[in-house]
Chain A
Amino acid sequence: MKTILKIIELFKSFLLDIGELSLFAGRFFKEVFKSPSEYREFIRQCFYMGNRSLLLVTVTGFIIGLVFTLQSRPTLQEFGAVSWMPSMVSISIIREIGPIITALICAGRIGSGIGAELGSMRVTEQIDAMEVSGTNPFKYLVVTRILATTFMLPILVFFGDVIALYGSYLVENIKGNVSFLLYFNKVFEALEFGDLIPATIKTLFFGFAIGLVGCFKGYNCKKGTAGVGLAANSAVVFTSMLLFIIDFIAVFVTNIFYHL
């Protein structure tokens, strides 16, 4: 009986979270078009986020490309289809692996960062101080950050994709003696705008989710230093879950558009 009650309570708090998040998102959309626009802070955040994640995205992208190619090479070799490697790798990286891996990394990097930053600002009353000094902290802190993640993530993903393809090329070059020109010719032959555009739109949503959840958790942080840690932690967990849900939906939506 107790466990059932606990589960119900857990479910309730989950629903509460979702409800609050929805309100938060609603507030974001209400405030995003209101003047004054915090343009400079937005640019600063974009720069900051891109800068903070670039190295991580580069390294992971490179390794993913490398490992992915190494792992799938034997199978393709069995079929004598190693020449399909560039097209296979490029399509799976551009369509799926690049966006989701980069988004997960950014959720860990940027999302938790936002959660902790806003959380500590909330705890030390900096958000209240902004409010009192006549600046709308929601606009200044939340809107700019959500917009920054929304627009920076596609760029990071694109960058990660390119690095991953380069990693894959290196394997092909070393193991299969494929030239740079041939490899990228094949890559571009395999890719269509139909691959790139839905993937890019998807990453916009990924970026939005990362920013939204990070800000939500940080902005509504509970008092105390433990609250900051919790905010950062739950931001990452919640974002990762949300990313997969978005990805799942994106596949269906993309399929509809492919068949139109």
Chain B
Amino acid sequence: MMNLPKTVIEIKDLKKSYGANHVLNGFDMHLVEGENLVIMGKSGSGKSVMIKCLIGLEKPDSGVIMVMEKDISTLEREELDELRTEVGFLFQGSALYDSMTVRENLEFPLRRHTKKFGIIKDTTPLVMEALENVGLTHTLNLMPEELSGGMKRRIALARTLILQPKIILYDEPTTGLDPITAKEIILLMKSIQKKYNTSSIIITHDVDCARAISNKMILLVDGVNYAEGTFEELNTSKDPKIQAFFK
């Protein structure tokens, strides 16, 4: 047998509810190193909640979340922050700080992570490298409002990359973009994955995106993982519920 790849994220029996609204009812998954996992689901099926639980933005009601072999519910704030440098998060709406320039946006994550990088005297090389990765070096001193939606998304990706994470979580990376820009983003994601050898979880309901990038897919229905498999396996499935996603 081959050596099994290392598992970087493992979720067991994750439950989360808001009042009477049960969003997650025992979700399980695991992510191995170098894998691109696509999670698909309807709006409100708990994808975003799941991914936020994963990074500690939301507290699950029950269940275990292991990230890099650490149970995040037991971590102190400092440890959690340290772990978060290894886990990048690309927000749905880019979430650039609009009171700061692009440069400041990119420098912002660096201010607190002196442990990983030491004390950085000059952030310019890191910032430029990150911008080069997304091909937007000329926007260095612009404000976020001067950028288009696609550029914002790319800057946000650059901001995520600047900490050189091992895992990147994408929250609907192509939503709200035109198909061409979406394709660009997908290409970018692929190239980054190759360059830095990251593992990713991609939340989306964009079939093209899923096809282009996924090694493995999970279909999330009513708070549980309804089906698992590669894109091809699921695409050819006879289950009408699964079929509904690919129409």
Q: Check if A128 sits within 8 Å of B52, measured CB to CB.
A: yes
Nearest-Cβ distance from residue A13 to partner chain B, whole angstroms: 15
Residues on the A chain within 8 Å of B55, using CB: 132
How many pairs, one residue from A and one from B, have CB atoms within 8 Å of each other in the complex?
A: 54
Residues on the B chain within 8 Å of A117, using CB: 99
Choose one: A36, A129, A134, A136; the contact of B95 (CB below 8 Å): A129
Per DSSP, are chain B's interface residues mostly helix, strand or loop, or mixed?
loop
Choose one: B91, B112, B163; the contact of A129 (CB below 8 Å): B91
Q: Check if B93 sits within 8 Å of A36, measured CB to CB.
A: no
* A-contacting 9-mer, from B81-89, B190-198, B204-212: B81-89
Residues on the A chain within 8 Å of B113, using CB: 134
Q: Is B23 an interface residue (CB 8 A)?
A: no
Q: Check if A135 sits within 8 Å of B57, measured CB to CB.
A: no
Q: Check if B81 sits within 8 Å of A134, measured CB to CB.
A: yes
Residues on the A chain within 8 Å of B154, using CB: none
Nearest-Cβ distance from residue B153 to partner chain A, whole angstroms: 13
Choose one: A125, A128, A133; the contact of B108 (CB below 8 Å): A133
Nearest-Cβ distance from residue B152 to partner chain A, whole angstroms: 11
Interface residues of chain A, those whose CB is within 8 Å of chain B, are 36, 117, 121, 124-126, 128-136
C-beta contact mask, B147-165 vs A, less than 8 Å → 1, else 0?
A: 0000000000001000100
Q: Is B96 an interface residue (CB 8 A)?
A: yes
Nearest-Cβ distance from residue B133 to partner chain A, whole angstroms: 17
Q: Is B77 an interface residue (CB 8 A)?
A: yes
Residues on the A chain within 8 Å of B245, using CB: none
Residues on the A chain within 8 Å of B93, using CB: 124-125
Nearest-Cβ distance from residue A27 to partner chain B, whole angstroms: 13
Roughly how many angstroms separate A135 CA and B113 CA in the complex, as a whole number? 9
Choose one: B52, B77, B88, B96; the contact of A126 (CB below 8 Å): B96
Residues on the B chain within 8 Å of A126, using CB: 95-98
Q: Check if A36 sits within 8 Å of B52, measured CB to CB.
A: no
Residues on the A chain within 8 Å of B81, using CB: 134, 136
